[in-house]
A and B are shown apart, each in its own frame.
Chain A
Amino acid sequence: MNSRRDDELNHSTARTLAATLGAIPVALGVGIALTLALPLSANLRLTIGSYAVFPSWIVASCCTFLATNARRAWLSLFALLALSALISMAALALRAPATWAR
């Protein structure tokens, strides 16, 4: 019973590392993307982006734990990181420089 359950859950060190450590750059990437790309005033974007990092880590971590194996977990994290980097770069290229203090 237990081994069948373990097989189904497929807990592995690599997936746990992905969910705990791998989720950190993704959370930072999401925070930066929100700061640069949200259609709001600069200071409000900065507020949301910088305070969304830790909740984003929780969401990324929970989702990564649900991956069926470690390879998928890491691939999903890389895809998310690439997506957030792409959004950030697009926002930097397309938007006028922000006045962050307001």
Chain B
Amino acid sequence: MKLHRRTFQIFWDVHAWAGVLAALLLYLMFFAAAFALFHSELDEWAEPRSAPAAQALPRLQPLFLQLVREQHALERTSVGFSIHDTTPTAQLRGPGREEREFRYAPRSQRLEPLRSKLGSFLYELHFLDPIPYGIYVAGVAALVLFLALVTGVLIHLKDLIRQWFQFRPAHATRTWSSDMHKVLGVFGLPFQLFYAWSGAVLCLAYVTVQPVFVAAVFRGDIASANAARGDSEEPPATGKRASELPDLDRVLGKLRALVPGVSPEYVAIQNPGDEACVVTVYGTQPQLAFSNVEVSFHAKDARVLHSSVSSSGAALQRFEAWFYGLHYAQFGGYGVKWLYALLALGTCAVIVTGNLVWLERRDRTRSRPGNRLLQRLTVGFCSGVPLAVAALFVANRCLPAELSRRASVEQAVFWFGLTAALIWPFWARTDRRVAGQQLVLAGALFASALFVDLSLRQPFFADSVQRGVACGLSLLAVSCLAAGTRLLRVGSLQRPSKPNAATSADSGTLNAYRRGRKGANRDATEATADAAKSAPIRSKAPVS
């Protein structure tokens, strides 16, 4: 399908502007997404001096009693237990914004304060939560990505199949970056489209769609809206002291009787010291794909207050189990998570090359201050984010285990690394070399984190989490080193292409649309042939 000339040009501009405006935030979000997929495993790995995991899930009630005795858990707003494999973690929230986290230590069989939040931090970074109002910024960025993807598909709809496979690495920067942008873009299109949509829903629907729907569809009846969504309505605190403590093991026993085969993942105790205390258990049914279970119990007598099982629920619950299950990769095991991580990093490459296409197409000599700023920010961000993450991993392995506020120090190392990486291109003013140096440094830091980890742990590769993280760190180290040395050696971010009006397939296609004549493909092909002739390095690949 070929668009009208004006339609094509408008969508071209919308695609370019939408892409360039949200590019850097999206790069950070997608890079962090590759780690967010494994956040529970990373949290387990990051805990210093962690012992091998327990053989079986410990009973939660003694751990809850420990929190009541030592942390005054009954005076908190909520207490939560995350259950990942056999190592529970506990979160205490309130009063106010106070939050404390603990992890089960198999050696002492007690909860001990969390000394690292590496996995959780990278997970939160995925939706920009460490930044004030970051979740809404992330939602808007996801929407802008959605717009850029749809307009990108529309402008390439006529030759989508060709764009899928056409990659000419030996051509000028403008051509190979455009090719890579389109090849990776088309390969990752379903993934990117779904993440743009689900990301916008996850970050923005709660503050935009839901209030409007409650007002317009449910005429202000929040209870009816909650019932329709399958959400439980928690009774407010009465202010009266509870006569007995919630029995978590009894609640879990009742849940297993109610939903056979359920795998509990999170236990939330709302108003733990109050008479109206509610215990809600969230989980999945591993035998079913995309299944969510949410059952609320009255804490006093473990009576069921609310039950929502997506596999036997209404259409909305079934759809949401599928929708969020796809977003969180709750299916297919580690194979799917690795594939998602690869696609997330591929999307980062689409974003970088998108900015490169913008710069090469619009201002090859970087004569405009705005484009020089964009180039330096792109370099600082795109090689700085891997560098900052690598510094975070090294800090996690090297900081003393007993250091107070250890998790905050780790995060400070990340922010310091990112800030330094952003300043570096402005100070050095040689962008290609800076990108290469930062990536080489990031690769060296990833490799250092791996070697320090191996030297600290005996025996090597004792458990699957350590093996997985070692594999990931090795891949990141090799990729960063390879990309960095390539940039230092032959790549070019700054060297302008020859001032030929049509040095890429892009300009050929666009020029044909501008003139409004037929045969845009032929024009593009001619332009490609010109580009091949004028490219600084001769291509051996056939020009199609």
Taking beta carbons and an 8 Å cutoff, which residues of A are in contact with B? 1, 5, 8-9, 11, 24, 28, 31-32, 35-36, 41-44, 46-47, 49-51, 53-55, 57-58, 61-62, 65-66, 88, 100-102
Residue contact B217 to A62, C-beta cutoff 8 Å? no
**Given contacts A54-B197, A58-B146, A100-B228, are A36 and B217 in contact (CB under 8 A)?**
yes
Q: Within the assembled complex, what's the spacing in Å between the Cα atoms of A44 and B11?
A: 33
Question: Does B395 touch A at the CB level, under 8 Å?
Answer: no
Q: Within the assembled complex, what's the spacing in Å between the Cα atoms of A50 and B216?
A: 12
* Chain B positions within 8 Å of A49 at CB level: 213, 217
Residue contact B216 to A32, C-beta cutoff 8 Å? yes
Q: Within the assembled complex, what's the spacing in Å between the Cα atoms of A39 and B497?
A: 58
Question: Does B495 touch A at the CB level, under 8 Å?
Answer: no
Distance from B221 Cβ to chain A, minimum over Cβ atoms (Å)? 10
Interface 1/0 per residue, B183-215 and A, CB below 8 Å = 000000000000001001100110011101100
Q: Within the assembled complex, what's the spacing in Å between the Cα atoms of A22 and B237?
A: 41
**Given contacts A28-B209, A88-B216, A101-B227, are A43 and B316 in contact (CB under 8 A)?**
yes
Residue contact A58 to B147, C-beta cutoff 8 Å? yes
* Chain A positions within 8 Å of B109 at CB level: none
Residue contact A9 to B314, C-beta cutoff 8 Å? no
Residue contact A44 to B13, C-beta cutoff 8 Å? no
Residue contact A50 to B150, C-beta cutoff 8 Å? no
Question: Does B514 touch A at the CB level, under 8 Å?
Answer: yes
Question: Does B328 touch A at the CB level, under 8 Å?
Answer: no
* Chain B positions within 8 Å of A1 at CB level: 514
Distance from B452 Cβ to chain A, minimum over Cβ atoms (Å)? 44
* Chain A positions within 8 Å of B230 at CB level: 101
> 29 A-B pairs, CB-CB below 8 angstroms?
A5-B514, A9-B9, A9-B13, A11-B13, A24-B208, A28-B208, A31-B213, A32-B213, A32-B216, A36-B217, A42-B228, A43-B315, A46-B316, A50-B205, A50-B209, A54-B200, A54-B201, A54-B205, A57-B143, A58-B146, A58-B147, A62-B11, A62-B147, A62-B154, A66-B7, A66-B10, A88-B216, A100-B218, A100-B225
* Chain B positions within 8 Å of A61 at CB level: 147
Q: Within the assembled complex, what's the spacing in Å between the Cα atoms of A77 and B15?
A: 21
Interface 1/0 per residue, B498-525 and A, CB below 8 Å = 0000000000000000100000000000
With both beta carbons as reference points, the residue of chain A lying nearest to B218 in the complex is identified as: A100
* Chain A positions within 8 Å of B13 at CB level: 9, 11
Taking beta carbons and an 8 Å cutoff, which residues of B are in contact with A? 6-7, 9-11, 13-14, 143, 146-147, 150-151, 154, 197, 200-201, 204-205, 208-210, 212-213, 216-218, 224-225, 227-228, 230, 314-316, 319, 323, 514
* Chain A positions within 8 Å of B200 at CB level: 54
Q: Within the assembled complex, what's the spacing in Å between the Cα atoms of A45 and B6?
A: 37
* Chain A positions within 8 Å of B204 at CB level: 54
* Chain A positions within 8 Å of B151 at CB level: 62
* Chain B positions within 8 Å of A41 at CB level: 315
Q: Within the assembled complex, what's the spacing in Å between the Cα atoms of A32 and B209?
A: 9
Q: Within the assembled complex, what's the spacing in Å between the Cα atoms of A68 and B68?
A: 66
* Chain B positions within 8 Å of A101 at CB level: 227-228, 230, 314
**Given contacts A9-B9, A62-B150, are A50 and B218 in contact (CB under 8 A)?**
no
Residue contact B217 to A46, C-beta cutoff 8 Å? yes
* Chain B positions within 8 Å of A8 at CB level: 6, 9
* Chain B positions within 8 Å of A24 at CB level: 208
**Pick from A32, A42, A47, A62: contact of B319, CB under 8 Å:** A47
**Given contacts A54-B146, A66-B10, A100-B224, are A44 and B315 in contact (CB under 8 A)?**
yes
Interface contacts beyond A9-B13, A62-B151, A100-B224: sample of 9 additional A-B pairs, CB < 8 Å, sorted by A = A28-B212, A35-B217, A44-B315, A47-B319, A50-B213, A51-B323, A53-B205, A58-B147, A62-B154
* Chain A positions within 8 Å of B154 at CB level: 62
* Chain A positions within 8 Å of B205 at CB level: 50, 53-54
**Given contacts A47-B315, A47-B319, A50-B209, are A55 and B11 in contact (CB under 8 A)?**
no
